[in-house]
A and B are shown apart, each in its own frame.
Chain A
Amino acid sequence: MKKAKLNGYLKAGLILTAILTVLIILGFFWTPYDPEAMMTGPKLQGPTWQHLMGTDKFGRDIFSRVLRGAGSTFTIAASVVAIGAVCGTAVGALTGYFGGMVDETLMRLNDALTAFPSILLALVIISILGPGKKYNVIVALGLVFIPSFARVTRTAFAALRDVNYVKSVRLMGASNGRILLVHILPNTMSVLLPAITIGFNNAVLAEASMSFLGIGVTPPDASLGYMLSEAQGMFVAAPWYALGTGITIVLLVFGVGLIGEGLQRRNGEVA
């Protein structure tokens, strides 16, 4: 009885994400209008049956652009968070669990990178990779996202290092790798999952703000971040533009967040 209720989050999250995923996949093959075609209707028109989310300043159909854009945004944000979370957790595990010199060195570098402005870091990475390459944005942002994940997980690993059950597993002869992956990692989820949720959100926004540096999705290609930053300038005249794209982002993040919540609660039950 109770268990079913707790899994409600997971269920809701999965349903929401599934719907969005279907729409995103659909967007790759079919959209009501060509997302790049201009003057498909009057410019900056509010939602109608022809244009579910209205039109933008070029008379392009916003719904079609959101469908297409959500795909690239989702791919970028998810890859960025994946790079950040995997590498960050690895660094956090190494430093938190082993301590000593590894910890000292990596954490100094990590501190320096955390404190370093991300735009500058991104600019450096683009300069090294060469501008105009399509997936620069993922690499650049992924690297930018590592330090925050590392710091969050490090503390969790450090705290769990000397907990009794870990000690006993160690005495039983388990390898460090096994201890880290099987015994400690699941218990760091309470800090990792919310960090992933917010990280996803930040990645979407970072992608938007990076487009002016010449990375990210370049117009006329659609991306939710870029659309949102464009909509920002006309919130009063065309609120549907900002709301349509904004709410799509919120729903994407919300769905992922609910799955995280549900997973964690289920794990909590098991433990």
Chain B
Amino acid sequence: MKYAAKRIAMLLLTMVIVSLLAFVAFDLISGDPATAMLGTEATPEKVAALREQLGLDRPLLVRYGEWLLGFFTGNLGVSYSYRQPVWDLIAPKVLVTLCLSGLTFVLIVVVSIPLGLRSARSSGGVLDGARTMVNQLCMAVPPFFTGILLSWLFSTLLKWFVHGKFPSLTEDFGGAVKYLFFAALALAIPRIAMTVRMLRSTVQGEMQKDYVRTAISRGNDRGGVLYRHVLKNALVPVVTFLAQTMAEIVASSIVVEQVFAIPGLGRMLVTSISNRDYPTVQAIVVILAFWVVLAGTVADLINQRIDPRLRLGGAA
């Protein structure tokens, strides 16, 4: 429990670093919110006046402190470009992105774990060779390429869903999930292949170890050994890997959201960055970062349960 508490404290620390980094980033990149808001109406005088009105002329740390205070009192600020409270703006998108990445993650786990275990048990042979080739091929295909092909096949050709007509999650949950499913598939395919491959090599690596060989030579059932000993040890890198996958799903969902015209956080983030809409970017960065860091933390906690030697920084 002490470890868990420590890990959660680290999570909070990471979040603070991330939000501060985002603030510093805005100070470094070219273009500022005032020019973005004024567009082609901008003149140096107007920009200076607007900067003052927005309080952008104050020191970085003052602004960060103000933001942090607002954050903890539940006030995410007002979007510079949409001029509406940031939370109202992004709340529906948080749900969409959560569903998309959740669905993708589920797809990856459900498909890749059985496939990976099976492929670990068979080595050599034509079938294994073919499987490995397909696997490598799946890894090589860019998600948005799969995205185009999938939406062309299922929307233009088969008409299973209407491209560009994403139903509201709150009004038509089933329809929305169906729509998201195709996007999730495009995201999942290369990662399924990657997970299968890594599961296979980890399990096989473990099977080569002396204790397994001994167990098998003593006449234990191969499958039994696999599930009782090997899986446990092989699970550690897999869990870490899946947490990593979560982070990558979030990162690459931006592309797929665009290909499928899904109104999610990823696209929102890109546009807000271009608009230099800092309050919105800051909020999205914190939400996405929390999601990613949480996945990492959970993975660490699980791994530590499985293999206490990994109690990093602890007594070991």
State the A residues within 8 Å of B (CB): 2, 5-6, 8-9, 99-100, 103-104, 108-109, 111-112, 114-121, 123-124, 126-128, 131, 148, 151-152, 155-156, 158-159, 162, 187, 190-191, 194, 197-198, 201-202, 204-205, 209, 228, 232, 235-236, 242, 246, 249-251, 253-254, 257-258, 261, 264, 268, 271
Contacts and interface: CB of A to CB of B under 8 A. Distances in A.
Interface in B133-154: 136-137, 139-145, 148, 152
A263 B193 CA distance: 18
A232 B255 CA distance: 12
Which among B10, B132, B288, B307 has the highest number of chain A CB atoms within 10 Å? B132
Contact of B148 (A120, A201, A242): A242
Given A119-B270, A148-B247, A197-B140, A124 B293 contact: no
Interface stretch (B65-73, B102-110, B236-244): B236-244
Interface in B258-290: 259, 269-270, 273, 281, 284-285, 288-290
Contact of A191 (B30, B141, B237, B281): B237
6 contacts: A159-B310, A194-B194, A201-B139, A202-B252, A249-B140, A253-B140
Contact of A261 (B132, B205, B270): B132
A121 B288 CA distance: 14
B241 A127 contact: no
A198 B144 contact: no
B139 A108 contact: no
B292 interface: yes
Which among A204, A232, A242 has the highest number of chain B CB atoms within 10 Å? A232
B251 A118 contact: yes
Interface string B189-221: 010001001100110110010000000000000
Contact of A9 (B132, B269, B292): B132
Nearest to B30: A127
Contact of A6 (B28, B124, B140): B124
A205 B255 contact: yes
A150 to B, nearest CB: 10
**Chain A at the B interface: SS class:** helix
Contacts of A251: 140
B152 A236 contact: yes
A123 B139 contact: no
B114 interface: no
A190 B18 contact: no
**Chain B at the A interface: SS class:** helix
Which among B14, B30, B198, B313 has the highest number of chain A CB atoms within 10 Å? B14
Contacts of B148: 232, 235, 242
Interface residues of B, number: 65
Given A9-B132, A108-B13, A109-B17, A264 B201 contact: yes
A134 B176 CA distance: 43
Contacts of B25: 120-121, 123-124
Contacts of B194: 194, 197-198
B88 interface: no
A200 to B, nearest CB: 9
B175 interface: no
Nearest to A9: B132
B22 interface: yes
A194 to B, nearest CB: 5
Interface in B107-122: none
A39 to B, nearest CB: 27
Nearest to A187: B205
A205 B144 CA distance: 9
Given A8-B129, A112-B14, A194-B198, A117 B273 contact: yes
B38 interface: no
A112 B124 contact: no
Given A108-B13, A232-B148, A151 B244 contact: yes
B309 interface: yes
B52 interface: no
Contacts of B269: 117, 119
